[in-house]
Amino acid sequence: MHAGTTTTHDAHDVHDHIHPAPEGFIRKYVFSLDHKVIGFQYFFTGLFLLLIAGSFAELVRLQLTKPEGAIMSHNAYNEMFTMHGTAMVWMVLIPLVTGAIGNFVMPLQIGARDVAFPWLNMASFWIFPIAALILFSSMLFGGPHAGWTEYPPISLADGTAGALWCMAIFVIGISSTMTGLNFMVTIIKMRAPGMTWTRMPLFVWATFATALMNMFATVALSAATGALFIEHVFNVPFFDASRGGSPVLFEHMFWFYSHPAVYIFIIPAFGVVSEVLPVFARKPIFGYKMIAFSSMAISILAFTVWAHHMFPSGLAPWLQLPFMILTYAIGIPTGIKVFSWMATLWGGRIHYTTAMLYAMGFLITFTFGGITGVFLASVPVDLHMHGTYFVVGHFHYVVAGGAVMGFLAAIPYWYPKATGRMMSERIGQLSFWLFFIGLNGTFLPMHWLGLEGMPRRYASYIDFAKSNPDAQFWNTFETAMSFLMVASVGLLVFNVLWSIKHGKVAGINPWGARTLEWTISSPPPYYNFKKLPEVYGRPYDYDRPLPYKNTDNELDEYPEYGRVLMPIPTPAAVGA
Amino acid sequence: MTEAAIEKGAALAGALVVGITAVIQLKNDWAARGIDASVTKILLGLMALGCVLALLAAVNVLGARA
Amino acid sequence: MATAAAAIPHGGGHAEVAARYHDVDPVYAETRDLRLLGFVLFLLSDCILFGAFIFAYIYLRVSAPAWPPFVGGHQLPWFDTSFAAFNSIVLFGSGVTMHFALENWKHLNKRKFNMWLIATIILGIGFLLGQAHEYSVVGISWAGSTMGASFFTLTGMHGFHVFVGVCFLTTLAIQANRGVYTGSKYFGLTAGTLYWHFVDVIWVALFFLFYLW
Amino acid sequence: MRRHTGEASLAQRYSPHPKQVRVQGLGRGFWLVTALLTLLSLGTTYYYLFGSIDWIMPGASHPVADRASDVDGLFKFMAVFGTAILIYVSGYVIYFGIEFRARPTDPPDLVGVPVHDAPKLELWWTVLPTILLAVLTALSINVWYKIQFGTGAPALTMEVVGHQFYFEYRYPGLKTSVFSKTEPMHLPLGVPVRILITSADVIHQFWVPEIRLKQAAVPGLVQNLNYTPLRAGTYDIACSEFCGPDHSVMHGQLIIEPVADFNKWLEGQKKAAASAGATVNLANGSADAGKATFAQKCAACHNNPPTPFDQKLVGPGLAKITDDPAHPTLVTGKPPTPANIADILQNGFTGPIGTMPNRQANALSDKDIADLVAYLTSLK
């Protein structure tokens, strides 16, 4: 037991030194090593790119208000949906959910002073705007036209623009690989004393699962885009059928990353929902272990299902079956999650904040998206639905109704911690209802349009409209509805900026949440925790007192600690 | 004595020396603990396997093209 | 007291670290632990980068009607196994010497450490020269065929890794002799050794896939 | 940005023994809602099984091909259970949201029922979906098997070649191709057909919504679709894989008609082709010109200079085509006479060895064909 106490002491020796405060504007806000500042940088960059990519989406929608195409040429339309998809996936969603939310929240929740490798963290942020610049610069060279999947041979026709596309994705891939590595090490090694794996907040579990995929899958993407790049530039025949290459090979290499990519941005949303629901239902999360386990199960299964995107695309028929079965297998942990969230609401005391509304909306829209996913996983049905608007509807329900909803729940939830001010509830709830209605109105009709025979990536649908007179009505309806989402995002941006100055003062813990980030001041000091907290129990037990020791709420302004070790608590104080 | 024969002879001798040394190293480090030690052990083992491959190639068991 | 001490289960990572390294400077101990895990994870993801291209090579080779493929009417030549075997041994040998180097450092035998490290660097450069010779005589081109595409991409990536490794080891040699590392703090050397072994092992795979399969 | 460390909200003051919501069992409301949701799901089930879903699955009530009804059955199965799950989940979310909302009169430290998990319940909602998915897997595999092997030996084997931005249809014995830009595709009613699909440039997809099945046209790869058309009529053909600027107007029509009409149409096509003077005069072909043409138009798929038969690029090597002891006949099985070589050049060829486009797809003039035949026969 003597050893026991010494290790306790060492634990504090190890972590209790506080680095001196960063000085000067550049160190503080530009090349900052502070995970919170880096989180802000990701957030605002991502939000800005979200507006751009979103406006592309609206151009796409406007084009479809007329069967022959309302506003632009086929080429321009193809460029628009390509840039919309690419930017949304790599430049908006992944940076926002992992980069912004993950960076800001995860170290606070595990009671760490920062991530494991702050320099790496800074580097992976600063790579991101560079990648974005490369991607958008490709539009000066005619722009990529082959869709966000950029299949050869069609993408090889894009020339310089295509090469730039590959370069941009390669670079952003390096960034998220580095982030993944950083987060893995942070979560494995830097949890506060006493925070066992089963005492981690569920958002940390989600971040861990995400980091796993970021690390291992994204490298495969780098390989795919790298190979496509050298085929573009040096004419190396990886994918050129006439010289022995194979277009299907690219689809394999691409989807081996890009299926996990979907989970890379949905699983952090799972984490956010698992945080928000217990807090505003004022009761423990239902089935903590199952939710944590299912996150890991999903992230591991994610590596084994990529070819379900290729059922009609030249996959050997016998290969279709294992991929179909594995895809169904993913439905099981996902179902467990949804049911557990549902059960968390039962017997609660539900406070309807904006975050809670988004979380509950998530439950409905994500369930819908998950169910349509089961349709697509079945080989025979997929042979009908593949490449139609049904697919577009499905993944927008999962991405906009899942990942984005989770992200929108996270903003009002952690905004007080980040800025010290509350966001306006009235504006927030209005923007929720706009978003929820707009989302369903936009993406629901896509399902039957697709089943009726409207393929995706259609710059015009004259022939389809001939045999389906309702086509134009539904497309116009979708376009109209999509503008509700625009309004909602506009309100969100206004709310974020306005509340920085005019929001109510938040205090340390406005929600009565129980994870560690709510035990320190809002916004937290650059070193997060003056003393490292000690953890004695699970985070969501609303019926018990807080399971933390050694936390302190009243922090003075930046103290001049340097690398001095903090005083060691006596075993008595620790045990109590 | 062709160039290939010289190369193969050198490869054979080298494979024996390097492979055996690698195995001995592996044996010495067997007790070591910690991530770095375990990873080193795995890598040394695979390297020994590589020596076996080179050896088989040198004696024309593997990679002998008709 | 006993209960008091038992009250904190050491799930938190750094407590375990501190327990393992209670004799050395705890800050160093923790930093080393983080970097080690990070470095190993980096090597793992690098494996996947090679793995993806190896998958591409196998896919193309298996789906090809004939291998080596035909270009402009005549079949491409096989690679020169005997020279490759020799060159591989050069690289594997450098792995062993690097291992000796680190062992000697651990036993504070600096002279031998330098000797073995320099031997490693020389062998590494030798391997690169061997690759250069291989490229000059291999008789296929990068853009000419799927075979050339996979071969030059994979061995090129590997060659780049070896080159980086040589620079890495050279830096380590300089640092070590400038007294950057001590008998208890030498993470740089550990990382260098791991990286070098990793490069060797990647070559085991490439050697088999291109020359022996 | 000032940091606010002062007054925190009420919610954060934890009393060591917070007041808890008291709940007796699941409550009557729960069972009422459950009954309501069950009724709703039964209603949707009835609709999927007995109502007309033609508006989402075109032609569901009168299958156009033998596989369509199988796919629709699978679709209905999933729709029934999927809709039910959606109804229950959203129904309960909404009901719990109303039933367990915080009241303004609540004391600040009132918390919900502290239930952490319910192993039995969790077991159920793990096992039941697993069983459901297992059944679904079985059904899917069954339909998959029918798609792969269910259709009898094809009475008609035809080819579809994707081009930017039209489909090219080739029928056996028809020297010219049918192009979707100008003419519809024809299929005979009630006989099993096999459609071989490939592409001349980029990836396309051949899809007739009413027939449900689609297949990608991948360059360098020949895939197939097998089914039996069951209902006469005119249907749309769409390319469902993005293939370039005019992807959205890559469109065709499929006419399914009784065998007699189909044969009449095919005969008409053959006559037209014949009257188009398809027989090429091979007399004055020049081997040198043929060599150039070969390098220009054939070298993409056939090794140039020509190699022995087994040294394939995409197609076989063509050296010694006229006297190869290993291969006395052409791929068509006919003797290697100039006329038969010209026949392949004109009509293309499809077989286990692969697909060669016909003269239209390769843009071969009569002179080209004459020259190529002269060149190939000159190879010894």
State the CATH number of the domain containing residue C190: 1.20.120.80
Q: How far C76 CA lies from chain A's nearest CA (Å)?
A: 13
CA distance A469 to A456: 18
Say yes or no to pLDDT of D315 above 90.
no
CB neighbour list of residue D182: distance below 8 Å, 6 or more residues apart: none
Helix and strand totals (H; E) in chain A: 20, 2
pLDDT of residue D303: 81
Nearest CA in chain C to D221: C63
Res. D292 pLDDT band, cuts 50 70 90 = confident
Tens of pLDDT along D153-170? 999 999 999 998 899 999
Q: Do D311 and C72 touch (CB under 8 A)?
A: no
Which residues are within 8 A (CB) of D226 and not within 5 positions of it... i.e. 6 or more apart? D147, D150, D151, D154, D192, D193, D194, D195
Name which of A115-129, A175-189, C61-75, D299-313 the model is least confident about. Answer: D299-313
> B16 touching C, CB under 8 A?
no
Neighbouring chains of A at 3+ CB pairs within 8 Å?
C, D
Is the model's pLDDT at C181 over the cut of 80?
yes
Question: Residue D133's pLDDT is what?
Answer: 95
Residue A253 is given by DSSP the state H
Quick check: B6 pLDDT over 70? yes
pLDDT tier at D329 (50, 70, 90 boundaries)?
Answer: confident
The predicted structure's pLDDT at residue A299: 93
Residue D252 token pair: 């065709």
Shortest alpha-carbon distance between residue D279 and chain A (Å): 30
Residue from the list C40, C86, C201 with its beta carbon closest to the beta carbon of B47? C201
CA separation for the pair D54, D60 (Å, rounded): 5
User: Of all residues in chain D, what percent carry a pLDDT higher than 70?
Assistant: 92
DSSP D82-136: HHHHHHHHHHHHHHHHHHTBPPTTS-TT-B-------HHHHHHHHHHHHHHHHHH
User: Is residue B53, in this structure, part of any structural domain at all?
Assistant: yes
Kindly determine whether residue C70 and residue D304, on different chains, have CB atoms separated by under 8 Å. no
Strands D185-188 and D251-257: parallel
Task: Look at residue A1 in the predicted model and tell me its pLDDT.
Answer: 34
D-contacting chains (≥3 CB pairs under 8 Å): A, C
Mean pLDDT computed over D121-137: 94
Q: What residues of chain D, 42 to 71, have a C-beta less than 8 Å from chain A?
A: 55-58, 67, 70-71
pLDDT category of residue B66 using cuts at 50, 70 and 90: low
Chain C interface test: which of B17, B38, B43 (most C C-beta within 10 Å): B43
Domain that holds residue C50: 2-212
Nearest to C41 by CA among B36, A61, A440: B36
Report ipTM (2 d.p.): 0.88
Of D10, D129, D236, the CB nearest to A453: D236
CB D162 within 8 Å of CB D198 = yes
Interchain CB distance below 8 Å, C82 and B7: yes
- Choose among A201, A125, A131: nearest CA to A171: A131
Contacts of D305 in chain C (CB under 8 A): 72-73
Is the per-residue pLDDT at C3 higher than 60? no
Is C96's CB within 8 Å of B14's CB? no
The pLDDT score that the predictor gives to residue C23 is 54
User: What's the structural domain count of chain B?
Assistant: 1
- At residue D359 the predicted structure's pLDDT band, cuts being 50, 70 and 90, is confident
Mark yes or no for CB contact C93/B14 under 8 Å: yes
B 29-58 residues inside an 8 A Cβ radius of C = 34-36, 39-40, 43-44, 46-47, 49-51, 53-54, 56-58
With an 8 Å Cβ cutoff, are C81 and B64 in contact? Answer: yes
Q: Is C177 an 8 Å CB contact of chain D?
A: no
Splitting chain A (576 residues) into consecutive groups of 10 residues, what average pLDDT does each group show? 38 54 81 92 96 96 93 94 95 93 95 92 95 95 91 90 95 94 94 89 96 92 94 92 90 93 93 94 92 93 93 89 94 95 92 94 96 94 94 95 95 93 93 97 95 93 91 95 96 95 86 87 86 84 78 42 28 32
End-to-end CA distance of chain B: 20
Tokens standing for residue A301: 């299964």
CA distance C158 to chain A (A): 14
| Residue B2 binned pLDDT confidence (cut-offs 50, 70, 90) | confident
In this complex, the residue of C5, C38, C55 whose CB is nearest that of residue A1 is C5
Mean pLDDT of D21-31: 84
The tokens of A552 are what? 């302190």
Q: Is B65 inside any structural domain?
A: no
How far is the alpha carbon of C192 from chain A, nearest alpha carbon, in Å? 19
Please say whether the beta carbons of D307 and C72 come within 8 A.
Answer: no
CA–CA distance, A334 with A312 (Å, rounded to integer): 26
Domain containing residue B49: 3-58
Report the predicted TM-score, pTM, of the whole model to 2 decimal places.
0.86
Q: How many domains does the structure of chain C reveal?
A: 1
- Look up residue A239 and give its DSSP letter: S
The HSE-up count of residue C145 (CA atoms within 13 Å, CB side) is 21
Q: Do D312 and C66 touch (CB under 8 A)?
A: yes
In a domain, residue B63? The reply is no
pLDDT computed for residue D289 by the predictor:
85
